[in-house]
């Protein structure tokens, strides 16, 4: 029984980190109405940036956030501004341009393979760091410290994004654009600039997720693909565009992955996740917290 | 000579060249590359029926390749049934799978359909990797299935040389192109294009967009599975990571998009341009610059989407038209 409880707690912790990795995806979808297929690659870039930042300076992993957040924001902002924006302008009248999906897929392939060229295929782990292998003892249960840090970070990030979206002028403009592009434009909001900012914020939260992962996760050029597919499942499960949904969706996946192996072979849990995803798509495509008109 | 004559002659010339190629290309390696080129051209043409004309974005077609390959292989290994029969059985199974996936998702907006097809293909791969025996059928999990080259001959779909494979895939490609041509000229084709460009307007005019897309999906998954059987018999070894891989699904879509989705020559053009790039990059830079061809794919894809969103077939066919329609010089006496 205690094992199940321990697995449940660890599942919730890991799941909230999954939710954090998917948060950027859902923010970007909420505003641009486009699935960013390069999302996993953004996470991968974030992980390499934090890996090198921590490796070269030797600071506590979470101090790297000071560097990773702005770098990832600028990276996402420029990516949207230089590569994706021209397509939005060319396909002004299309609500959900499929072409953008294709272009982000191209970005995914370029980023992943460029990283492969630069850093090689080997797995890198941070190794010696203050969080490595730390466990929190709760009675007879062991809770992973880096995952606990990740859990707290996920909640804080979600709260911060929520605050930003509701209390700042830029946040309100972003929400207005996500609700109705035309009306927002008529109110004097530059929708393309909003897209840039939203993409930047999405990339920055992905950078935060990368920092929470790096103390206990290996980094390699295709690491993003694992989180890419998982991210798609999480955001559809929680409802595309919903930040709460991303966290809840992440926790559901985390629980299946950690509690599932008690009852079956671990590799089967992956099949269950895909099955659940298809069921949600067929039965309730708007997800748990999504708005109905968004699908 | 008018342009229609030139078109016919050009077409016949290309056909003659395609059939005569193995007489010139004696190297097994080059023939292998050509067979794979046609294999991808075939897959992409099949993909194009739903991904091109219907305007949706399926990204899990490797699942159908896998269903085709596994069905015919299991049937021939365990029950001695000719792969040609297994090919059709696999096609029907893939068609059923395609309908099950398409039924709820084809009504949805683009992104959801793309995600559903990815999830289906990845889910199928994970399942195959986890199952050794499906009832009485041996699938052999992640180790895959090996086809022992015992008896060669047409009925066994097994040949000692590569030439027969070349002609089989060439004929398959020509047939699927002919079918695509017929579909594009049919009522279904017009419904698909109408639904792909302006779904709301088409529905308002009484076109059942979802039904047309579903038929396209069924035809496309059936045809794709046939190529799966071909691949199994050609490579004599299938395993889930190679045949139900996301990379294959994406490569099919890339070829179509770069060549030009929704056109008949687009997939062929895309395969002609991209396959050699990937083969030669792997041969010459496989060790020193791994993944180079994928960087090129990504770059070309982005550039094409930015500057030629209808694919490279458009500027090339415009160029072709300009060449054959140019004013005849007076001295030619025509």
CB-CB neighbours of B13 under 10 Å: 10
pLDDT above 90 (res B94)? yes
| pLDDT tens, position by position, A13-58 | 999 999 999 999 999 888 888 888 999 999 999 999 999 998 888 8
Per DSSP, the three-state class of B238 is strand
| pLDDT tens, position by position, A217-246 | 889 998 988 888 889 889 888 888 788 888
% of chain A at pLDDT higher than 90: 32
Q: If you write DSSP's letter for every residue of B141-197 in order, what string do you get?
A: GGG-EE------BTTTTB-SSSHHHHHHHHHHHHHHHHHHHHHHHSHHHHHHHHHHH
Question: Which residues of chain B does A103 touch, with a Cβ-Cβ cutoff of 8 Å?
Answer: 301-302, 305-306
Q: CA-CA distance, B299 to A113, in Å (whole number)?
A: 11
With CB atoms and an 8 Å threshold, state whether A102 touches B301. yes
Residue of chain A nearest B304, judged by CA positions: A103
Structural domain boundaries in chain B: 3-325
Q: CA-CA distance, A205 to A171, in Å (whole number)?
A: 15
Question: Which residues of chain A does B254 touch, with a Cβ-Cβ cutoff of 8 Å?
Answer: 105
DSSP 8-state secondary structure symbol assigned to residue B60: -
| pLDDT tens, position by position, A122-146 | 888 887 777 777 777 777 778 888 8
% of chain B at pLDDT higher than 70: 97
Between B334 and B260, residue with greater pLDDT:
B260
| pLDDT tens, position by position, A168-180 | 888 888 888 888 8
Q: Tell me, what's the pLDDT at B141?
A: 81
Q: Tell me, what's the pLDDT at B329?
A: 60
Q: If you write DSSP's letter for every residue of A28-62 in order, what string do you get?
A: HHHHH----TTHHHHHHHHHHHHHHHHHHH---GG
Q: CA-CA distance, B306 to B300, in Å (whole number)?
A: 10
- Rounded alpha-carbon distances, angstroms, from residue A193 to A35, A77, A80, A83, B325: 18, 9, 10, 14, 46
With CB atoms and an 8 Å threshold, state whether A113 touches B295. yes
With CB atoms and an 8 Å threshold, state whether A281 touches B111. no
Interface test with A, best of B119, B120, B249 (most A CBs within 10 A): B119
Q: Tell me, what's the pLDDT at A106?
A: 92
Q: E strands, chain A, where?
A: 135-138, 141-144
Is residue A85 within 8 A of residue A192, CB to CB? The reply is yes
- Mean pLDDT for all residues in chain B: 86
Of B105, B111, B122, the CB nearest to A101: B111
Q: Does B94 touch chain A (CB under 8 A)?
A: no
Of A35, A83, A268, the CB nearest to B302: A83
ipTM: 0.84
Give, to the nearest 10 degrees, the angle between helix A169-179 and helix A145-167. Answer: 80
- Rounded alpha-carbon distances, angstroms, from residue A207 to A15, A220, A237, B262, B283: 17, 16, 22, 38, 36
Q: Tell me, what's the pLDDT at A291?
A: 65
Please count the residue pairs, one from chain A and one from chain B, whose beta carbons lie less than 8 angstroms apart.
126
């Amino acid at each position: 029984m205690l094992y199940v409880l321990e697995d449940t707690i660890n599942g919730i912790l890991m799941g909230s980190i999954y939710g954090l990795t998917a948060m950027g995806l859902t923010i970007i979808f909420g505003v641009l109405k486009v699935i960013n297929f390069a999302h996993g690659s953004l996470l991968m870039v974030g992980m390499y940036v934090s890996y090198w930042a921590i490796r070269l300076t030797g600071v506590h992993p979470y101090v790297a956030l000071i560097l990773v957040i702005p770098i990832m924001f600028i990276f996402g902002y420029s990516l949207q501004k230089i590569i994706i924006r021209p397509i939005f302008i060319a396909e002004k009248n299309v609500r959900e341009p499929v072409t953008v999906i294709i272009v982000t897929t191209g970005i995914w392939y370029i980023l992943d393979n460029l990283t492969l060229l630069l850093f090689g295929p080997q797995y890198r782990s941070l190794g010696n760091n203050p969080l490595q292998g730390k466990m929190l003892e709760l009675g007879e249960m062991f809770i992973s410290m880096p995952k606990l840090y990740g859990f707290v970070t996920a909640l804080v990030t979600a709260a911060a994004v929520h605050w930003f979206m509701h209390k700042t002028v830029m946040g309100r403009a972003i929400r207005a654009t996500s609700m109705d592009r035309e009306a927002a434009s008529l109110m004097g909001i530059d929708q393309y600039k909003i897209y840039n900012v939203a993409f930047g914020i999405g990339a920055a939260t992905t950078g935060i997720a990368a920092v929470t992962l790096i103390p206990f996760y290996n980094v390699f050029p295709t690491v993003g693909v694992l989180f890419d597919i998982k991210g798609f499942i999480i955001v559809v499960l929680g409802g595309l565009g919903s930040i709460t949904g991303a966290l809840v969706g992440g926790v559901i996946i985390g629980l299946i992955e950690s509690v599932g192996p008690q009852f079956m072979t671990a590799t089967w849990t992956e099949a269950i996740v895909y099955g659940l995803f298809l069921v949600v798509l067929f039965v309730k495509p708007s997800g748990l917290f999504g708005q109905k008109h968004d699908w | 000579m008018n342009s229609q004559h030139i078109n016919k002659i050009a077409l016949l010339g290309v056909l003659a060249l395609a059939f005569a190629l193995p007489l010139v290309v004696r190297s097994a390696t080059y023939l292998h590359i050509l067979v794979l080129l046609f294999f991808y051209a075939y897959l992409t043409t099949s993909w194009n029926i739903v991904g091109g004309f219907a305007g949706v974005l399926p990204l899990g077609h490797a699942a159908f390749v896998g269903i085709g390959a596994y069905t015919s292989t299991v049937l021939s290994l365990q029950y001695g049934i000719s792969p040609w029969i297994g090919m059709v059985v696999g096609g029907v199974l893939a068609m059923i799978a395609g309908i099950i996936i398409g039924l709820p998702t084809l009504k949805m907006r683009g992104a959801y359909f793309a995600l559903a097809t990815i999830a289906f293909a990845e889910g199928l791969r994970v399942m195959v990797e986890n199952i050794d025996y499906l009832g009485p059928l041996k699938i052999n999990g992640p180790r895959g299935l090996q086809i022992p080259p015992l008896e060669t001959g047409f009925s066994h779909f097994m040949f000692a040389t590569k030439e027969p494979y070349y002609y089989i895939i060439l004929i398959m490609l020509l047939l699927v192109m002919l079918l695509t041509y017929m579909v594009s000229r049919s009522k279904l084709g017009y419904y698909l294009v109408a639904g792909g460009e302006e779904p709301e307007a088409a529905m308002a005019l009484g076109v059942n967009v979802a039904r047309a897309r579903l038929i396209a999906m069924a035809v496309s998954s059936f045809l794709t599975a046939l190529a799966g059987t071909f691949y199994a018999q050609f490579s004599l070894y299938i395993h889930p990571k190679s045949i139900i891989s996301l990379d294959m699904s994406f490569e099919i879509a890339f070829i179509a998009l770069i060549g030009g989705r929704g056109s008949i020559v687009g997939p062929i053009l895309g395969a002609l341009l991209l396959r050699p790039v990937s083969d030669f990059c792997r041969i010459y830079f496989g060790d020193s610059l791994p993944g180079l061809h994928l960087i090129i794919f990504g770059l070309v894809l982005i550039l094409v989407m930015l500057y030629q969103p209808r694919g490279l077939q458009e500027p090339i066919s415009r160029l072709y038209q300009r060449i054959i329609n140019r004013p005849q010089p007076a001295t030619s006496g025509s």
